[in-house]
Structure 1
Amino acid sequence: MSDNHFIVRKAAVLGAGVMGAQIAAHLVNANIETLLFELPAGQDDLNANVIKAVAQLKKQEPAPLSILAKAAAIQPANYDQHLELLRDCDLVIEAIAERMDWKSELYAKIAPYLGQQTIFASNTSGLSINRLAQAFPPELQHRFCGIHFFNPPRYMHLVELIPCAASEPEMLDKLETFLVTYLGKGVIRAKDTPNFIANRIGVFSLLATMHHGESFGFSFDRVDALTGSLIDRPKSATFRTADVVGLDILAHVINTMRDTLPDDPWHSYFVAPDWLQGLIDDGFLGQKTKQGVYKKVNQEIHVLDLATQAYRLSTGDVDEDIKQLIKYNNPPERFAALRNSQHPQAKFLWSIYRDLFHYCAVQLEAIANNTRDLDLAVRWGFGWNQGPFEIWQAAGWKQITTWINEDIAAGESMSQTPLPEWVMAIGESTIQQVHTEQGSYAPASKMTQARSILPVYQRQLFPDRLKGEVVSYGETIFETDAVRMWHTGDKIAIVSFKSKKHTIDADVLGGVQQAIQEAEKNWRALVIWQTEPPFSLGANLQKATERPKHTMQPEHATPPLPPSALSQFMKKFKRTAQSTVLKAARELDLADVLMAKKMAEVEGMVAQFQRTSQALRYAMVPTVAAVDGLALGGGCEFVMHCDRTVATLESYIGLVEVGVGLLPAGGGCKEFALRSAREAGDGDPFPKLKRYFQTVAMAQLAKSAEQAKELGYLHAADVVIMNRFELLYAAKAQALALAEAGYRPPLKARAIPVAGATGIATIQSQLINLLEGGFISEHDYLVAGKVAYVMCGGDLTRGSLVDEDWLIELERTAFMELLMTEKTQARIAHTLKTGKPLRN
């Protein structure tokens, strides 16, 4: 390999199936021109298969593409006409069906066309990398390896990197660096063993869960209720996850384990159940065929009932006693309760944990380099909050080990294989930990192994931590109950919120204002960054009345608004605008505020919020928002007022207040009015304003940072990065660059041309048509009209010049007027009570 920095100017993906097409999509998400190859179609257009696959990418949910326009960067290709194009590719990823013979045949075909420096990698989910390498000429094998993405590739953090015997170490380091920074992945170096690490452990866990679920006579939905969020795993739990992965893919992975692991002590369990094979034979493969273990009937979820061989309404639940038991904050107490309980659900949970721990301990040395790699692979690949060894360590290593040994001796475990000696040694040690500050246990060396020292990881100031690793977030500048201002040894100050979900109340606002003042006196820039996502779920009005903290923003996004006329988007208002905020009022308990009519306190907080937004805009040092995850309502308004935003691709940003009958009042409406005027220049601001009005009136949430740019929440100059663990590093770099350039805040806008009464009338005329047609309610009309009134600058002559204070005053007044209406109060109260939107 060359000593030059590894740059991927162009990539190719071989295979336009579900995984191949989505890998290509994620490459273009990273602005990499990508060829997507498939077998030639037997039609006039030999690329028809690829064209169809790319078209499907635009329809899939969750969306593989960050914005639909990225699809144009995927270039269709076929093996008959376009192999010569591979010579210009720096990276080629094979992602065809999991057949050793098909892959080997393809490798022989394309090998003569690879460039001299091209890295070639297989996305196999479990086939031997060394066997696959044999299909290449020996002189090319040093540039070959496995690169296993998890489905869906855009969203799943894990990539397993698997070398063959000839893989060049420098090549692997360069590829890992590329995957981490440019594709945003968490890379784990895996050994060339069947199904590698995550699938080996994850599928065993699924098989163990199936085995014990059947033993206890539990239905599929009961098992999922027990093995999802209740125990800090994804809501999809076990069988819903199988549907998402694809039942055919699951069966293939199980069969791979059966065929390639004859000596595994758990081999007898590596069998696809009859019901699974039956669904596959019937073509019911899960989510991709809209039917598997589950299916959707109208708006209800139905589950397969094995007793009747028919689908029924999914009603699986967990007994209240078990819910209370799981809530024990102390892991040793929780596991002792599970172990000692005679309740079938508790015994089931203990059994799946016990056999998972047992399997991980026995197989660790064969499949992974250390306990950290196994735990992170399972967390990143299957979405668990903690890996198996983390859970074991937290529950008490020695006690869990004793219980496992007792169950093995009693014949209750799935295998009678004894635990390895290293497990007992850890239990008898003074620390009884496999994860420590120095590293994680590696059985081959019988020592702790530190994290990778590749330079790319120096960009991760605070990497994903494991149980036993202590994190210290810099040196405190000042700290209150609401915020902490701190630094990492340079002149860039950081402020982080301490509120739940980083909601914004009066104390947070005061803390941010104090941070701005401190930064102006003693620091070169200020970065708003949270120690974990979300960035902020927005305003919390409860502090005005000293009530428990809640948020007025939702947790989920609405579908993106397609390009349409105003009438088209308003027709969707009834269906979608309020569904954006199903959880909004439930989390914002305004009942006491509303009933007591303590509106003055609320208005005071709104005014304070507006002052804080303006302070971020006009601070004498650069302000940078470092965004990851949700930035909603007031959180979005903070983003809009910072000098620069650095956002991860998976940032979901939006002004969503309209869904509960309110409007943005932290400067969001003002900001869109200002931006439309600036973008129009000397022209009419209304066409620009109309688009922004649609965004606010539809409570539209961007489904990626790239889409946030399209919607206007972010500026073109704002930075989108791929890896969330590099966010603070990149945000500080942007802050420093602004400071080094001799930063001065922008001049205050004192002559903003507004659309005025003419713009208001234009919007209202269309709203009236929708009201009379029954597409929107009278209150929908009122709320949308208030948004139009504020964003158009009030009842002024078109082209009148106003300043920011004028628009901010309109915002605050309109917000309070809506808050005091009975129908907005009813919407909030109804959603609080039912979790559903109210049509009134």
Structure 2
Amino acid sequence: MSKIKHIAVLGSGVMGSQIAAHFANCGFSVALLDLTSAGPKPSAISEGAVKKLLKINPSPLYSPSVIENIFPGNFDDHLEHLDEADLIIEAVIEDLAIKQNLWSQICKYVKADAILATNTSGLPLKDITKNLSNKSLKRFLGVHFFNPPRYQKLLELIPGPKTQDGLLEEFAEFARLHLGKGIVVAKDTPNFIGNRIGCYAMQKSMIPLFEDGFTIEEIDLLTGPLMGRPKSATFRTLDLIGVDTILYVTSNLHSAIKKDECRNEFIMPTEIKKMVKQGQLGAKTKKGFYSKVDGEIRSINFGDYSYQSPKEISLENIHAYKKIPDLGKRLRALYDDPGRVGDFYRKFLLALMSYSARRIPEICHNHQDIDKAMKWGWAWQMGPFEIWQAIGFKKILNDLKGSVYTLPEWITRIDPEVGFTKSKSPFADQFTIKEKRMRLIKDYKDARLLNWKQGICVFEFTGKANTISSRVLDGIIDAVKLVEDKEEFKGILIANDSSMFSAGANLAEMAGHVQNRDFAPINEVVNKFQQMSQVVHYASKPVIPVVQGRALGGACEIIMAAPHAVVAQESYMGLVELGVGLIPAGGGTMRMAKLAATMAGEQKAFLVEPFLRQNWLTIAMAKVSASGLDAQSKRYLNPNATLVTNAERRLHVAAQLLLQLSELPYSSPRPSKFLALGANAASTFKAGAYNMLQSQFISKYDYFLACKLAHIICGGNLTRASMVDEQYILDLEREVFLSLLGEAKTLARIESILKFNRPLRN
């Protein structure tokens, strides 16, 4: 599948354009074709779709630059060029006749070994391919990208009536490695796996609103993060999807699943149909199940379809359940609750579990694929069968046997004392630290050093949000020395299994000292942080951060310090300290100053200044990267960093890199001086900040902080551009950082983050 280099996507609507965008993200050349427009611009439709990609939020693009990989065209002028494409994905409107007609044209031009795919959310492949030749059918398969394709991990693959052996497996491996997708193979049944189970779950979770006296707010509380699902829960999700869209989908599903024993449960309540008639369609009409009225989020009253202020939630013990950190234990407690909460969960979960079980083998081959589909496509933390196992296989089995629900024969063959077996990843390059059972070398309380294999050590953050406490700083310094001193060790990976690399420095640890006006311990911690970043940078053996998710503030500084890093594309890096009234003081400002001088080539002020100005502005605006690629463009990440599309492969890739570096042998950086521009340059930066203040783009305190940052990054009170060493800028970092802790507005910003988890613009 490495032969796939050129892709053609036919249909430039919401899905087609974003599928094209994700292939472009991953480095592929993509032709995006659509209907021909009358007038001077025959490709106006696809050209317009490409331009829209730059305006979508969240962005479907890793970086605006990848748009250059997409080439818009039209069906009349460019179908004949399909013979250049290795993969053709049709993604036009879900209309059977339109798809059939387009495929009859496509197949005239494609090359013999091209892969042919239709992106559909539920139309039968046997109908779409009705008029295709046997030759085309062998190269044909169905794909179902979940929206938005960049962010939704799930990709359902559906074999066609005559898909040749091995093609599906080959394409699955291509999508896993190059697109970062989690693959499930679905059978050619209505709505495939994710949306078949998801629509059923959505329908069952809204019924208590009409039958059992639950409020919209109560159901959203019960079906959100409390049970391991997104914050949008049930009704906010319906508003986002569109009430009319979900009505259309469930109506079509009801028509298509004539042999499904629960078919009539997909009929939407009359109240939902009335909402659609009245234009209460959700977010797109600004009124659905929720609407913002006079600045207040209100929910619909089905008495007169007006919007009422939220009622107080009266669910006994709910606050106690929220405090249970482990999801499995929390689900058991919710299921066993003797009141309304337990009634809701037992009714909902028993229906969901029995329905999911009865869909095997109709929609897929095993229960693991249903669990994967719901986690990757619907963002559930646990799939239906994992929930079953967490609550207790035998308990649920007995409850189902005593209920109105029936069970399929395959469930009866499972040992009730064991339950569902957890499937291991079939991929040798996808694993977690936990799965590898690494040997503990040393525990640092908020982190630990582990011995993995072949001389590779792993330094794992273990504290809350993986924050960087004083113990973590001591740990990294100690771990690097330990690994350097022992010949058996080749280097360190700084990594963890969580969804984020690190939220940054431990502000809570610092806050107590600030309140007591005790700055000596803070000075010690900042000094230690700078020491740690230098130890990482100049280590005699590779120290490689393995990054995913958020890497903010001090975490970003660790990554910037490392000469090499492995970074998942879905990583969001940034020096965000100004948002809490501080400046980067763990070496981040110094590295941005030195980087500007390095990028300029010659150490001349007029060459360095534009690079330094951009780096100053990036920090001053607390910019966070939209991806790993964007982190490189924002200069948080070295150009030589290894970017990984599939985050689950990051440890494998990092291990291979470490071994390669250690065999060269590894050569660590050498200290060097660089050009600092001095106070005159700082004055021009401050003038730029003043213009932003006058334009009301920043607050007065933002301006104050930006000026402090300019002072550091330009080299303090130097009267002219001068060569300085790294420690000179590090000392300025520490001096300004400590001075800011005496500012009332900085303390207010820190307090806002710690108390309310939101930034304060004062």
After TM superposition, the score normalised by the length of structure 1 is 0.86
User: Which piece of structure 1 moves more, 320-329 or 23-32?
Assistant: 320-329
CA contact (8 A) 1:222 1:316 kept: no
- Cα shift at 1:240: 2.1
Name the structure 2 match of 1:460: 430
Q: Distance in 2 between matches of 1:753 and 1:317?
A: 61
**More deviation in 704-713 or 219-228?**
219-228
Written as runs of structure 1 = structure 2, the 5 A alignment for 1:527-546 is 527-543=493-509
C-alpha deviation, 1:224, in angstroms: 1.7
1:741-760 alignment to 2 at 5 Å?
741-749=664-672, 751-760=673-682
Q: CA offset at residue 622 of structure 1?
A: 1.8
1:7/1:807 CA distance change after superposition, 3 Å: same
Is 2:706 the partner of 1:706? no
Report the Cα distance in structure 1 between the residues aligned to 2:98 and 2:595, rounded to whole angstroms: 55
Worse overlay, 535-544 or 762-771: 762-771
Residue 116 of structure 1 pairs with residue 112 of structure 2: yes
The one-letter code matched in structure 1 to 2:192 is F
Matches within 5 A, 1:137-536: 137-281=133-277, 285-287=281-283, 292-295=288-291, 301-312=297-308, 317=313, 319=315, 321-325=317-321, 327-328=323-324, 338=334, 341=337, 343-408=339-404, 416=405, 418-426=406-414, 429-431=416-418, 433-436=419-422, 439=423, 452=426, 457-462=427-432, 471-520=435-484, 521-522=486-487, 523-536=489-502
* Structural RMSD (CA): 2.4
Task: Find the counterpart in structure 2 of residue 31 from structure 1.
Answer: 27
| Aligned equivalent of 1:724 | 647
Q: Give the superposition deviation at 1:666.
A: 0.5
What secondary structure sits across from 1:366 in the alignment? Answer: coil
**Residue in 2 that maps onto 1:671:** 591
Is residue 798 from structure 1 mapped to residue 720 from structure 2 by the alignment?
yes
Which whole-Å CA distance do the structure 2 matches of 1:336 and 1:745 have between them?
Answer: 52
In structure 2, relative to structure 1, the CA distance for the partners of 1:340 and 1:625 (3 Å cut) is: closer
Would the aligned equivalents of 2:394 and 2:416 in 1 still touch at CA under 8 Å? no
**Distance change >3 Å, CA 772–CA 88, structure 1 → 2:** closer
Task: State the alpha-carbon separation in 2 of the partners of residues 534 and 773 from structure 1.
Answer: 35
Return closer, same or farther for 1:598/1:273 CA change in 2, 3 Å cut-off: same
Structure 2 equivalent of residue 680 of structure 1: 600
1:488 partner SS:
strand
Q: In structure 2, what is the equivalent of residue 612 of structure 1?
A: 532
SS in 2 for 1:93: strand
Q: CA deviation at 1:537?
A: 0.9
Report the Cα offset of residue 594 of structure 1: 1.8
Q: For the Cα contact (< 8 Å) 2:227–2:331, is it kept in 1? A: no
**Is 2:546 aligned against 1:626?**
yes
Report the Cα offset of residue 424 of structure 1: 3.9
For 1:711 and 1:613, the matched residues in 2 are separated by 20
Structure 1, unaligned runs of 5 or more = 409-415, 440-449, 464-469, 545-589
CA contact (8 A) 1:26 1:153 kept: yes
Q: CA deviation at 1:510?
A: 1.4
Does residue 784 (structure 1) correspond to residue 702 (structure 2)? The answer is no
Measured against aligned partners, the alpha-carbon deviations of 1:101-135 in whole angstroms (never above 9, x if no partner) come to 22111111111111111101111111222332323
1:550-594 Cα deviation digits (max 9, x unpaired): xxxxxxxxxxxxxxxxxxxxxxxxxxxxxxxxxxxxxxxx1x322
Q: Is the 8 A contact 1:212 1:351 kept in 2?
A: no
> Could you say which residue in structure 1 is the equivalent of 2:522?
602
Residue matched to 1:818: 740
Q: How many Å separate the matches in 2 of 1:296 and 1:87? A: 52
Which amino acid in 1 is paired with 2:679?
A
- 1:248 Cα deviation from its structure 2 partner: 4.3
CA distance in 2, matches of 1:65, 1:318: 43
Identify if the C-alpha distance between structure 1 residues 310 and 784 changes in structure 2 by more than 3 Å, giving closer, same or farther: same
Calculate percent identity across the aligned residue pairs.
36
Q: Which shows bigger deviation, 255-264 or 317-326?
A: 317-326
Matches of 1:542 and 1:330 in 2, distance apart?
23
Question: Contact 1:226/1:318 (CA < 8 Å) preserved in 2?
Answer: no
Partners of 1:225 and 1:318 within 8 A in 2: no
Residue ranges of structure 2 left out of the alignment (5+ in a row): none
Maintained 8 Å contact 1:757/1:798: yes
Deviation digits for residues 688-732 of structure 1, max 9, x if unmatched? 111111111111111111111111101222121110111111112
SS at match of 2:459: strand
Offset of 1:742 from its aligned partner?
2.3
Structure 1 residues 244 and 23 mapped into 2: Cα distance closer, same or farther (>3 Å)? farther
Task: Report the CA distance between 1:306 and its aligned residue.
Answer: 2.6
Cα distance between partner residues in 2 of 1:451 and 1:332:
21
CA shift in 2, pair 1:451/1:507, >3 Å: closer
Q: Residues 386, 332 of structure 1: CA spacing in aligned structure 2 closer, same or farther, 3 A cutoff?
A: closer
Does the 8 Å CA contact 1:372/1:435 hold for their aligned counterparts? no
Q: 2: distance between equivalents of 1:176 and 1:403? A: 38
Distance, in Å, in 1 between the alignment partners of 2:331 and 2:614 is: 55
Question: Residue type matched to 2:601 in 1?
Answer: G
SS in 2 for 1:364: coil
Note if contact 1:789-1:795 (Cα within 8 Å) is conserved in structure 2.
yes
Higher mean C-alpha displacement, 231-240 vs 248-257: 248-257
How many residue pairs get matched? 757
Contact kept, 8 Å, 1:22 with 1:154, in 2: the verdict is yes
Q: Which amino acid aligns with 1:129?
A: L
Could you tell me how far apart the structure 2 residues matched to 1:36 and 1:315 are? Answer: 49
Taking the aligned partners of 2:269 and 2:128, their CA distance within structure 1 comes to 29
Instruction: For 1:132 and 1:774, locate their aligned partners in 2 and report how far apart those are by CA, in whole Å.
Output: 56
TM-score by length of structure 2 reads 0.94
CA distance in 2, matches of 1:677, 1:224: 53
Report the Cα distance in structure 1 between the residues aligned to 2:632 and 2:534, rounded to whole angstroms: 21
Contact 1:622 1:738 in 2 (8 A): yes
> What CA distance in whole angstroms lies between the structure 1 residues aligned with 2:222 and 2:759?
29
Amino acid at match of 1:676: A
Q: Which residue of 2 aligns with 1:8?
A: 4
Give the distance between the partners of 1:339 and 1:168, measured in 2 at CA. 46
Contact 1:401–1:424 (CA under 8 A) maintained in structure 2: no
Q: 2:555 aligns with which of 632, 635, 640?
A: 635
Q: Secondary structure at the match of 2:440?
A: strand
Q: Distance in 2 between matches of 1:478 and 1:154?
A: 39
Deviations 1:298-329 (A, max 9, x none): 86545443333234556785635223245456
Match of 1:575 in 2: none
Letter matched to residue 454 of structure 2: D
Query: Contact 2:316–2:339 at 8 Å: present in 1 too?
Result: no
Aligned residues of 1:390 and 1:435 also touching (Cα < 8 A): no
**CA–CA separation in structure 1 for the residues paired with 2:280 and 2:85:** 38
Question: Aligned equivalents of 1:274 and 1:233: distance in 2?
Answer: 27
